[in-house]
A and B are shown apart, each in its own frame.
Chain A
Amino acid sequence: QQQVRQSSQSLTVWEGETAILNCSYENSAFDYFPWYQQFPGEGPALLIAIRSVSDKKEDGRFTIFFNKREKNLSLHIKDSQPGDSATYFCAGNMGYKLTFGTGTSLLVDP
């Protein structure tokens, strides 16, 4: 049972476009939703996160839109750069446990 789902396994955008990565979840008890970014050969690293009391979180070119009623969220990457090419994991938190989605591999073509 996949409690956190990422609808696209891979996504390709052109440099300068906005990349949109989608995520949905099942567990209503999740109260914190981080997105982690992973480059090949590295461990995941926190990119941006949102708490369930908010509907939007922005940090530079990265924005999370959160819909609690629909149990989904999306990560928008504005003005995508080739250096943004990586795998992005959505996650949901409850207590001490983070539950990750399967990841979306983003490729930004120059």
Chain B
Amino acid sequence: EAAVTQSPRNKVAVTGGKVTLSCNQTNNHNNMYWYRQDTGHGLRLIHYSYGAGSTEKGDIPDGYKASRPSQENFSLILELATPSQTSVYFCASGEGQGNTEVFFGKGTRLTVV
């Protein structure tokens, strides 16, 4: 079964600090995604990747960086965390273009104080 694992599952960070959210997939999928989920906004795409070494901006990339060092791993980096980045973050992986199933992890709840 498809497996996307996120770590940590919960994180409290201080304003101005650096935060790294990690994601690992064992599906051997080329594409990986980072979304944030907020009430009233649904899921919004932050960054995505077509494969190792590639990252692309999604719809709300400001304040975030991404890194795809290998096929399996995709990280989301907040260099200077702000309270507005308090949210639940989901990593996902998929094969081909977006018209196939995308598999999500269980999410990371980030609170920036």
Please report A residues at the B interface, Cβ cutoff 8 Å: 4, 6, 31-32, 34, 41-46, 49, 51, 89, 93-103
Please report B residues at the A interface, Cβ cutoff 8 Å: 4, 31, 33, 35, 40-45, 48, 50, 56, 58-59, 90, 92, 97-99, 101-107
Docked pose: A98 CA to B32 CA in angstroms: 12
CB–CB B101/A43 < 8 A: no
Q: List 15 A-B contacts (CB under 8 A).
A: A4-B42, A6-B42, A34-B101, A34-B102, A43-B90, A43-B106, A45-B103, A46-B101, A89-B43, A93-B99, A96-B98, A97-B48, A97-B98, A100-B44, A102-B41
> For B104, what are the chain A residues with a Cβ–Cβ distance below 8 Å?
43-45
The distance from the CB of A97 to the nearest CB of chain B, in whole angstroms, is 6
Q: Which residue of A lies closest to B90 (CB)?
A: A43
CB–CB A95/B42 < 8 A: no
Among candidates B42, B56, B101, residue contacting A101 with C-beta atoms closer than 8 Å: B42
Taking chain B's interface residues, is the majority helix, strand, or loop, or is none over half, making it mixed?
strand
The distance from the CB of B29 to the nearest CB of chain A, in whole angstroms, is 12
> For A31, what are the chain B residues with a Cβ–Cβ distance below 8 Å?
99
CB–CB B45/A97 < 8 A: yes
> For A96, what are the chain B residues with a Cβ–Cβ distance below 8 Å?
31, 48, 50, 56, 97-98
Do A94 and B98 form a contact, CB below 8 Å, given A43-B92, A99-B59? yes
> For A100, what are the chain B residues with a Cβ–Cβ distance below 8 Å?
35, 42-44
CB–CB B102/A32 < 8 A: no
Q: Which residue of A lies closest to B44 (CB)?
A: A100
CB–CB A32/B99 < 8 A: yes
Do A32 and B98 form a contact, CB below 8 Å, given A43-B92, A96-B31, A99-B45? yes
Select the residue from B31, B42, B101, B106 with max chain A CB neighbours within 10 A.
B42
The distance from the CB of A73 to the nearest CB of chain B, in whole angstroms, is 15
